[in-house]
Structure formats: structure tokens, C-alpha cells
Amino acid sequence: MVIFKLMKKIKNQKIVVSGILKKENKILIARRPLTKKIAPGLYHLPGGHVEFGEHPGKALQREFWEEFKLPISTDDVVRVFSYQDDSSHTVGITYKILSEDIPKTIWFDPKDNDDVIWVKENEVKNFFSSDDHDYLTILKYFS
């Protein structure tokens, strides 16, 4: 019983990264598959989790390569945010990112995303709720 009570007090903390990639006045967003535990079927800024000991910028480069086979470099940090629930605290870092060679069609791994699209600033509101952390980040990016 004591072990169970101690386990309930253990809290998780994680770091996630995402990136804003711009091409011809549009930014890349992706839709999460319905099989995902967190935010299934919702659009998001591409990215992922930072592994233990990994630099956040390098994590974002790894995630873009794994999910899109797209080499990127990180630029300025657009926004840092955090949110929590009863058992975990998430810190998010969104970078402005660059890529030398953006293909006409973006390949994506279907286990991580089920669609990728380019959206203009005035279209963003059609894909996110007004309190979504990615939406707030995109607004800051365009301001």
C-alpha cells in the first residue's frame, strides 16, 4: 500500500519541440492519426519529444528526419510554453526552422501523421481551436 501511494506522487516532466517551416508565405502543419493517444485527428506543428540528454534543436532535426525525411536547421525560438495535468508537466519549445531543399510533395510517416498541408496565415484559424498552444504560437510567429 505504501509503494502504491508513493507511485501516485511521482510526477512526469517532458520536453517537446516543434517547428514552423515557411514556404511561399505558407507554413507546414500536419494531422495526427486517429490512433494517437494525445490529440488524435488534430492538426499540429510538426515535432516530437526530446530524448534524455538531447539538445532540443537536435531533437527537432531528428524528428523532422524521422517523420518527413526532411533535413532542417533550427533558427530562432518562436515561443516556449508549458502545461500540466495531475500527473505530468510538459514544456514545449517551438523553433523557426529552415530547409534548403523542400520537395514539392512532403513524404510523411503514416504512423506519426496522416496528412501534411501548407496553410496561409489567414487559414490557420480553420485548423486549430483558439486556445490551442500551436495556434497561439503561430499567431506569435506571424505578429
Q: Mean pLDDT, to the nearest integer, of 39-63?
A: 97
pLDDT category at 9 given cuts 50, 70, 90 is: low
Query: Which domains can be identified in the chain, with CATH numbers?
Result: 11-142 (3.90.79.10)
pTM: 0.89
Give yes or no for residue 4 having a pLDDT over 80.
no
Give the residue-averaged pLDDT of 34-50: 94
Q: Please state the separation of Cα 115 from the chain's center in Å.
A: 14
* Mean pLDDT in residue range 80-94: 94
Mean pLDDT score, 123-142: 96
d(CA 30, CA 17): 14
Name the nearest CA neighbour of 21 among 88, 97, 73.
Answer: 97
**pLDDT at residue 10, as a whole number:** 65
The pLDDT of residue 5 is above 70: no
Q: Which pLDDT does position 38 carry in this prediction?
A: 85
Point out which residues pair with 92 in neighbouring strands: 16, 81
Give the span between the Cα atoms of 141 and 48, in whole angstroms.
Answer: 19
* Amino acid at the residue 45: L
Is 110 or 86 the better-scoring residue by pLDDT?
110
Strands, E assignment, 1-143? 12-23, 26-31, 43-44, 47-49, 73-84, 88-98, 115-120
Nearest to 73 by CA among 101, 53, 31: 101
Q: Residue 25 — pLDDT band, cuts 50, 70, 90? A: very high
Which stretch of DSSP H or E encloses residue 7? Answer: helix 2-9
